Amino acid sequence: MKDQTAPYFKLTGAPVPMVTSGSKFPYEAMHSASAEAYIVPSQAKNVPGGKELLRTMLSKDAATNFAKQQLASTIVKGTVPADGFGSTALVSQTKMLEAAGSKILTWGFVDVYGMNKDLLVVWNTFLDGKSDVATLTSDMQKITDKVRNDSSISKVEVK
């Protein structure tokens, strides 16, 4: 979004507020639901090579370069400087994650229930201006209802 954001616009984030005062955490930092899982299969053709790739990729230098190029935080701590490489959004995200400590919540329902492909279609249609809020809301509800009503899908209970 860097190239499409006006230079005077200071993009920032805010912690996710909880619905009730009885929540375990008054505020929680939400981390991207698209967090990647880094694995090397035990039966891979080159397990040592795979581990070396991960070691290199997750080194402080490589993670810092990724954060700088993508203006996104990584799982490697200490890779974003105080100025967020000039990104107010990255500064605010980093501050929220640091303030949350271990109280970080990841919304993974899209991946858990396999809804991402269907949701991308309705969101992209909306963002392209080809549908309105009512249609977006209705289509998202239909996708969610389909998952909710499918007894073959194991549901995750959130407390």
- Do 119 and 133 belong together in one domain? yes
pLDDT (average), residues 86-101? 86
Please tell me the total count of domains within the chain. 2
pLDDT (average), residues 115-122? 91
pLDDT (average), residues 127-145? 94
Tell whether 31 is covered by a domain. yes
pTM as predicted: 0.59
pLDDT in tens, 16-49: 666 666 666 555 555 444 456 688 889 999 999 9
Containing structural domain, residue 75:
2-107
Q: How far apart are CA 70 and CA 40, in angstroms?
A: 24
Residue (of 101, 51, 94) closest to 74 by Cα position: 94
Q: How far apart are CA 156 and CA 153, in angstroms?
A: 10
Q: How far apart are CA 119 and CA 92, in angstroms?
A: 27
What residues have CB less than 8 Å from 121, skipping those under 6 apart?
none
What residues have CB less than 8 Å from 63, skipping those under 6 apart?
57, 74, 75, 76, 79
pLDDT at residue 126 greater than cutoff 90: yes
- Do 47 and 35 belong together in one domain? yes
